[in-house]
A and B are shown apart, each in its own frame.
Chain A
């Protein structure tokens, strides 16, 4: 049973990690906690639902299309709600704007789709494999594989490509990057797009995995992923992955060996504990402030 629960935890954790990456990347560059990120994830899930049930897309095609759609949505949100505030007002107003976008998007979806939970059609036939006493389902393998692939791809992009280099430069110092001739706005738009695409992939996979999506699904998932990002060290990409995975595993183990009543308490209790011991998070770097 332990290994099965570990697998459950890894699956849940990898969806948290996909969302957490978006938080961490945006924070790393513009120091903004994008509270609308959970709603982007929800829109991704719904986009996938519509494509699968009305247009007969298969899972991979629906996921790619949902990722594209959320890229545009992410760029749009940044353009409308954050860019006009950047540099002109305090960071707090951008944060409030993010909360506003979050509420706007979730209620917009509630208006369009109703507040009920919708069923995700079974896009891939259910299949499970036995590895000794371990039951491994095809969906779990798919989630783990796709998440791993996306994370490796992201790491490659950030470390090895030109735009990745620009992103790293921006995260170190936005003004200096601007002076060095980097188109800062384009880098920021790109960051939002990539983060949103990852969230959309997570949304579609969660929808298929649990067979359920609803307009307020982004709220709690967003909070959990945010906790994962902070736990791993906000701004650090490997940190978000580790934070997400460990949060998922801890939650599942909490339910398995303690009680579901403690599920959220464990998640957020761990967050507090990590921050008490390592305020910069597991993988975060200590930044000495210029005074």
Chain B
């Protein structure tokens, strides 16, 4: 008993020490960067804060996002800035952690005096920063958060991304009317939130459009044995398989389907985007997987084409959805400030909310009355000759 208590105290002490150490580190780092920033703030510039991770698990979203934002700011300054003032980006790496993004958002607002923050690409992190932004009356513009409960936080919160609830009904409509698929199979990856949230959206849309769900099944993300699911599917008589999970399992499902002689198209959200889909699936995914997303670098509009060329020239790589959305977010903010003739967030946020049919590089954006973005068109991407390939662009019908 006594020994147990002792060790518990020791553990608590260790924990406290660790926390103190971590806190010490981050505050030191901040102080150093704060000084550097203080020198710059002599010249009066409009500051935008970058929210996103450039290291860690979700750095894949943040790194291209940051590049898009840098490019947008340089483009703005080349055109003379906003309302005659220079635009300046402030960049911190939030590592995809809630505690980091809270610190960074507070730092941007109190020390850097930003007028708006651009990011984060993740829903959970955006919510943390949005609470802080709303309280301090600073605009936050997420370029990627697709989950629910984001813009509901308050009237300073915006986002610019294709929402599943708007995209899915149009995608289902396309499947039923353009492809003639009426009998649906749905497979959900049980242990990922993205999949369990997307499945009900599909179910609802299919029911609303009069389609029939002939079989619903589940898999666990990270497994490889899907023999039983495919055998069941083979006997269900579905025209198309809706799979709401990630690319790895999509490739393995199609591998197994091919082995069992089942010829079916698998359709899902942008969770299927990942080059491992092609590497793992090879000919089993060739023209047999379709996913929808908001951005494609194939067959671009003139605006997008110019953006892609410039991006490739500067960064020597293809832009993705996140670079395009961050780029647009900065440009939309600039437009709102110019139209409102003010850089005060309390003023230009109302102009921002009235945005209609903005022809961005990531598609057209309109804000609904509740500030939810409606982006059009949706890109349907498939795999052709071992590359992602734009199959079709379909418009989003606003309800």
Report A's interface with B, CB cutoff 8 A: 1, 4-5, 8-9, 11-12, 116-119, 126, 128, 135, 137, 139, 206, 210-212, 217, 220, 251-253, 255-256, 259-261, 263-264
Contacts and interface: CB of A to CB of B under 8 A. Distances in A.
28 contacts: A1-B232, A5-B228, A8-B228, A12-B225, A12-B227, A119-B280, A128-B260, A128-B261, A135-B260, A210-B224, A210-B255, A211-B255, A212-B224, A212-B280, A217-B224, A220-B222, A251-B225, A255-B232, A256-B228, A256-B231, A260-B190, A260-B217, A260-B218, A260-B228, A260-B229, A261-B218, A263-B220, A264-B220
Contact of B235 (A1, A9, A117, A206): A1
A212 B252 contact: yes
Given A210-B224, A261-B218, 17 more contacts: A1-B231, A5-B228, A12-B225, A117-B248, A117-B276, A119-B279, A119-B282, A128-B259, A137-B260, A206-B224, A210-B255, A210-B256, A212-B252, A220-B222, A255-B232, A260-B228, A264-B220
B264 interface: no
Given A119-B280, A211-B255, A260 B220 contact: yes
A210 B248 CA distance: 12
B252 A210 contact: yes
B276 A256 contact: no
Given A8-B228, A210-B224, A212-B224, A135 B261 contact: yes
Contacts of B229: 255, 260
B364 to A, nearest CB: 35
Nearest to B235: A1
A8 B255 CA distance: 15
Indicate the size class of the contact surface on chain B: 20 to 34
A252 B190 CA distance: 17
B340 interface: no
**Chain B: interface secondary structure?**
helix
B238 to A, nearest CB: 15
A260 B188 CA distance: 10
Contacts of A256: 228, 231-232
A137 B220 CA distance: 24
Given A211-B280, A212-B224, A260-B220, A8 B259 contact: no
A153 B36 CA distance: 73
A210 B257 CA distance: 11
Contacts of B282: 119
Contacts of B391: none
Interface in B227-251: 227-229, 231-232, 235, 248
B280 A8 contact: no
A117 B231 contact: no
Contacts of B231: 1, 4-5, 8, 256
B213 interface: no
The 8 closest A-B pairs by CB, nearest first: A255-B228, A8-B227, A210-B224, A260-B218, A252-B228, A256-B228, A119-B280, A211-B255
B219 interface: yes
B56 to A, nearest CB: 14
Contacts of B227: 8, 11-12, 252
Given A1-B232, A116-B276, A210 B190 contact: no
A208 to B, nearest CB: 11
A210 B225 contact: yes
Contacts of A260: 190, 217-220, 228-229
Contacts of A11: 227
Contacts of B252: 210-212
B240 to A, nearest CB: 20
Contact of B190 (A217, A251, A261): A261
A224 to B, nearest CB: 10
Interface string B248-289: 100010011011110000000000000010011010000000
Nearest to A219: B222
A24 to B, nearest CB: 22
Nearest to B274: A116
Contacts of B224: 206, 210, 212, 217
Contacts of A5: 228, 231
Most buried by A among B228, B258, B260: B228
A210 B282 CA distance: 13
Contacts of A4: 231
Nearest to B191: A261
A203 B93 CA distance: 41
Nearest to A119: B280
A246 B264 CA distance: 31
A5 B227 CA distance: 8
Nearest to A9: B228
Contacts of A253: 228
Contacts of A117: 248, 276, 280
A87 B331 CA distance: 72
Most interface-central of B217, B227, B232, B280 (chain A CB within 10 A): B227
A117 B250 CA distance: 13
Interface in B314-332: none
Contacts of B261: 128, 135
A81 B227 CA distance: 37
Interface in B136-157: none
Nearest to A254: B228
Q: Give the most central of A118, A135, A255: most B CB within 10 Å.
A: A255
Contacts of A259: 217-218
Contacts of B279: 118-119
B277 to A, nearest CB: 11
A259 B187 CA distance: 11
